[in-house]
Structure 1
């Protein structure tokens, strides 16, 4: 039954695309431009560098700089601290990819990889500053509270969910020591890292184009479906933020909505995450529930902040 429903949905989507070629073209073009102008130049350098750090063994330099603090706060292993750094600083889906890569490479356990995924796959500070604060909210005064709330929300959720992964351990331990850099590495290593980075980018771009097409098709429907306008922003975070801004909501409603959507990341980011972690065998449903919890937390914190500042 479920298989038939999925097949029917795909056929239905195909028929809708056939009768709406203009909307399909517009959505695909918008998604491609978003990928080419924003995702490719911002994500590729981080993908390449993190891959090189893993391949050459220089990950231990990052662990040495931040590991002591992060292991105490998050109970992760020294190798796991590398996943925390990339997940909070590099943006979707780098946290998911790093957690999966560390697990598959044997640096951390599967339980720690799932724990990292639960809170270390977030919007980057660059995206928060440029797209959330300056373009969507257009209020410089909200820069610091927005950064703090969006970084703090997944951390707060992790404090409540960590025991499920730790199983009464004090902290996770390294499965593989990473004490020194690789003695000899060649341009072949760089070539492999570049190819892996572009494979990731192509997959991310494919999902962005797909969800942009879906968003455009829903917007071009000849009938008004009740509640659809409120759900469309959930498809893709960048386009969703544009939709929220165009709704002209009062700040007391817009700010919590923007924080919630940015923290959740949209279903497009969830699909990208599933693509990144399937090699490690991580289930996607727990991740979605934890992201929703972080989104609710961010929205509540944003609402409380506006109440406090008047």
Structure 2
């Protein structure tokens, strides 16, 4: 039955691409532009830097200091603090990429890696504030609300997931005096254990990061096309009808159900559709956007599943955590809507300052990244190609 379903779905996709070539092309171009202009140039520096920090032992160095915090709070080693910080700063799927890398380095057990990946795949602040709040909703104040619900929910998910597999063995942690001395010793031993010269380390970091981002770009393009074809074939409306029965219990307006369903597949398109259907009341739209941001969308989940497939880390705990994060973030958005947004509108001075500074600054930064993004992408793809050619010639 599974083989028939997979073959049938693939055949339907192929036939739909032939029947609707123009919408498929437009959706593909839209996904390519997103990867070309924003995703690649924004994530590549983080990926390369993270690879270098791991290779040179800096992650172990940080982990020694953060172990007394990360272990009691999240039941993961101190190196998890590096993944958490980089995941929040650079956005998904950085958390999965770095967790997989640390698992391959044997710095995490299997259960610890599954705990860590469950709460380190977060949306980056620029996307939440600049794209969702400013570009889509036109309200910079919503960025604070969305960020508080998203990152607060992330931390709560990490605390909940600390109890997952708690009977399983965990990585060793040596309690000793002289924390600074031990941290430097861990850094030095990690660097000495890696026998590669600096040029090889840097080249591997560039090539591995580019390969990961090429895979991410393929997922972004395919899910953009897939989402568009579902809408054209009427499958979105059909499935959304069942979702309406569930959302009506919570009083969610029917016009937000189809955008919500689209957001479950691809966050950017869903967020834009939700903002367009929101009207003047942002309460339910913000709750829905908080849910789909935390859920990550099937596009991001497919990227994470592909990255985790290179290790023994299972996907099921991550998917469970995404559902848990979705409901927690939606609940926090509902609770914080009044204190962080509705009442905030009455504070005229702060509103004036944010309206005059935050949207302009954020939009200028987004336009700057978009203008440099394609050139940076081409340059780094050329660098990666030259590295591979040189290695093959040698």
TM-score, reference length from structure 1? 0.91
Per the alignment, residue 269 of structure 2 pairs with 239
CA contact (8 A) 1:119 1:290 kept: yes
Matched, 1:261 2:292: yes
Matched, 1:217 2:229: yes
> SS of 2:187's equivalent?
coil
1:206 to 215, 218, 224: 218
Per the alignment, residue 208 of structure 2 pairs with 196
Q: Which runs of 5+ in 1 are unaligned?
A: none
TM-score, reference length from structure 2? 0.72
Distance 1:224 1:301, change over 3 A: closer
Per the alignment, residue 248 of structure 2 pairs with none
Count, aligned residues = 308
C-alpha separation in 2, matches of 1:178 and 1:288: 33
Per the alignment, residue 138 of structure 2 pairs with 138
Query: Which stretch has the larger CA shift, 158-167 or 291-300?
Result: 158-167
C-alpha separation in 2, matches of 1:168 and 1:193: 32
CA contact (8 A) 2:114 2:317 kept: no
Runs of 4+ in 1 over 6 A off after TM superposition: none
Matched, 1:270 2:301: yes
Shift of 1:54: 1.3
Query: Which stretch has the larger CA shift, 268-277 or 59-68?
Result: 59-68
Distance 1:174 1:19, change over 3 A: farther
Shift of 1:3: 0.5
Shift of 1:300: 1.2
**Residues 100-179 of structure 1 mapped to structure 2, 5 A cutoff:** 100-167=100-167, 173=172, 178-179=186-187
Shift of 1:215: 1.6
Q: Which runs of 5+ in 2 are unaligned?
A: 175-184, 241-257, 344-394
Query: CA RMSD, aligned part only?
Result: 2.3
C-alpha separation in 2, matches of 1:294 and 1:80: 18
C-alpha separation in 1, matches of 2:129 and 2:237: 34
Distance 1:76 1:285, change over 3 A: closer
Per the alignment, residue 283 of structure 1 pairs with 314
Distance 1:205 1:189, change over 3 A: same
